[in-house]
Structure 1
Amino acid sequence: AGVAIAPVTSWKFYDTIYAERYMRTPQENPDGYRDGAPLENTDKLKGKLLIMWGSADDNVHVINSMQYISKLHGQGNQFDMMIYPNMNHSINGCGVRLPLYQRVLNFFKANLQQK
């Protein structure tokens, strides 16, 4: 079981100043960008997944999650998701932080306990 909160699913959707600092440009490191992108590796997903993000995230744009979810749907993968409307990358304020962590904890309890 795994939880992804505001995930970068493809480095092509992320701010180049951060990605290129460690990975160089996509032209210089195409294999690294491909191999390091969950979007390009959805066929390797095993187990349960909970994906969560804030709809107003201006750091990791919502396209990361939407493209990932679209690909998971196309492959028939099951997953859980939670969207926090008008929340930014930190997903805080309006009393959502504690329920977010509670949902993560409940997800792990439900999916990691021995049967």
Structure 2
Amino acid sequence: MNTKEVEKYWQAYLAVFPNASGEKYEASQFGDSSTLADKLGNLIVKGIKTATCSALWEWKAEAIEPPKELGLKTIVLDGENNPLCIIETTEVTIRPFCEVDTQFSKLP
């Protein structure tokens, strides 16, 4: 990841939204390859992809940070780790896979 570019992107965001100063943020790609990061990132920018999910056991097994907290800003990166946009976590729901409803999992 180009940390300098990510920080520059965040600072440009703060110039528009100065009240966000001091908020937490992260930068990450969606997907498990650069090709998928490009595809998913473009869907996010277009407003088509508006939700995501992951397996809680995977977070625990890999000792990754806890699930996203409300209000967290994420700088979405493309397949080459360039910033595309900033999104905000507005809901976190933990439920068994068999309880994921069609509204959440629908395709555009």
| Normalised-by-shorter TM-score class | 0.3 to 0.5
More helix per residue: 1 or 2?
A: 1
How high is the TM-score relative to the length of structure 2? 0.32
